[in-house]
Structure 1
Amino acid sequence: MTRLGIVTGMQFEADILRAELAKAGSPDSVVVACAGPSYVSARRVAAELLDQGSEALLSFGIAGALIEGLKPGTLLISSQVVNWHLTIDTDQAWAARMTEGLGKTRFATEAGRLAHSDPPAVTPADKRALHIMTKALGVDMESYGVGEIARDRGVPFLTLRVVADGATRILPSSALAAANPDGTVDTVRALTELALHPWEFADMVRLGLQTSAARKTLRNLALLGAPRLFFV
């Protein structure tokens, strides 16, 4: 059976996967690694997973929406990952099996391009410009790096990214400051930054609600995919 390497950007994404894999009793067939929110780290971790024996790479976690109407909690299965004018194709046979395996779910699913941005796309203007340039539905910081390694090594590659922040919403500086390089979140730092920027309170509450919707889809996706090894 193909050994699957899964790369996440945030620790909570990896924790969701590991919990469901442990319940499914197949932890030796799938390896989950948190790279932190970084293109460079995602490349490094993806290469390490292949060196350790993985034969396919999956980028899993949250993403930002680039078009209006794409609601938090929506699953994006990308056909391509785009970095400016450079593109990396995902494995379409794998994507088709994934779509068929998911069947009728309780969460919305969209197929289309996923854009790369590192540093993150923060403002609605950033997201709008990125969509115009790439025609992508969503954006993340890690998938392009994982895809580069998969392409260079000749192994299957797919992304499963769930919308958290909407296209018309700004990412508060308090939230950005709380993200550690290893993918963990420093709550104390977030609260300190929020105290210095109290006008961000409403945006932080809204982001928390949106991320909660994304977490719910990630849990449901892990619950569906873990017993079937994400339909590899």
Structure 2
Amino acid sequence: MALSGADGRRGQRPGRIIAVTGLKAEAKIAAGEGVHVIAGGGDGARLRRDIEAAAPEASAIVSFGVAGGLAPGLQRGALFVARKIIAEDGSFFDADPDWSLALRAALGAAMADFAGVDAAVAGIEAKRALHLRTGAHLVDMESHIAADVAGRLGIPFAAVRAVADPAERQLPHAALVAMRPDGGLALGALTRSLARDPRQIPHLVHTARDARAAFKSLLRGRKMLAVGFALPDFVELVLNMPAEDELGGPLPV
């Protein structure tokens, strides 16, 4: 799916960009002028409904946030731009090539295939198996949903993700239960998990360090992308939008 219309002009469809994330913390980083953010919180069905509700007024959809590493040797915090998203059933969604190349140039990031899953891939062996099956370098729980909605509506899709847990890292149970359905931090569930198995604490410390590196990369990358997430001609679209259609600003965490 390319950005160019039938007459060769780009950016014909005015509207905001939808930034799809998993966590509220990611959404807070993604927010900005002309951007409507949606945090999935691990609830794929609700995320799809929320994207579909907002998408008719959108010019494009970007998946933005952290991801798990699948390919061996990926460094925590490394930024990647998606070439395509591979779903669990083997179907795939191509990212918009022009937009993806613009993102790659703006961020100095590598391009790779992402795997999209409905449940977190936590174990080292599970990550390895998914990498071998799909060839994907990263995995997340939102990109395949965002890409599917964008494809059905015929609007550009792109994805930018930072490696949070490398392929060699096992995610502890406490980290898996720490996300609320609204994308916030489920502190109670995390605390209960640690109380049941305190041996997770060293692993959780490593996970937190990995996540901190990923969020630093996301924040730096978001500043580099500025208005429009590097979508060609989006700045002109924003300037032509009615003020009441421009969304942005920080989200509550």
1:74 aligns with 2:78: yes
RMSD of aligned Cα (Å): 1.3
> 1:132: which partner in 2?
132
Structure 1: tracts of 5 or more residues without a match: 22-26, 104-108
The structural deviation recorded for 1:5 is: 1.0
Distance 2:175 2:107 in 1: 32
Distance 1:201 1:75 in 2: 27
Distance 1:207 1:187 in 2: 15
> 1:10: which partner in 2?
23
The structural deviation recorded for 1:168 is: 1.2
1:44 aligns with 2:49: yes
Distance 1:59 1:45 in 2: 14
The aligned amino acid for 1:110 is: A
The structural deviation recorded for 1:66 is: 0.2
Aligned residues: 217
The aligned amino acid for 1:127 is: K
SS in 2 for 1:37: coil
Q: Give yes or no for contact 1:38–1:142 (8 Å, CA) kept in 2.
A: no
Range that drifts further, 41-50 or 78-87: 41-50
> 1:229: which partner in 2?
228
Distance 2:160 2:146 in 1: 12
The structural deviation recorded for 1:110 is: 2.1
SS in 2 for 1:6: strand
The aligned amino acid for 2:229 is: F
Structure 2: tracts of 5 or more residues without a match: 1-13, 232-253
2:104 to 93, 99, 109: 99
> 1:219: which partner in 2?
219
Distance 1:44 1:63 in 2: 22
- Normalised by the length of structure 2, the TM-score is 0.82
The structural deviation recorded for 1:125 is: 0.6
SS in 2 for 1:68: coil
The aligned amino acid for 1:96 is: L
SS in 2 for 1:178: coil
Q: Give yes or no for contact 1:59–1:142 (8 Å, CA) kept in 2.
A: yes
SS in 1 for 2:213: helix
1:64 to 68, 78, 81: 68
Q: What are the Cα deviations for residues 58-110 of structure 1, in whole angstroms up to 9, with x where unaligned?
A: 0000000001210110111011100131110000110111122235xxxxx32
Range that drifts further, 149-158 or 173-182: 173-182
The structural deviation recorded for 1:2 is: 5.0
Q: What is the identity percentage for the equivalent residue pairs of Structure 1 and Structure 2?
A: 32
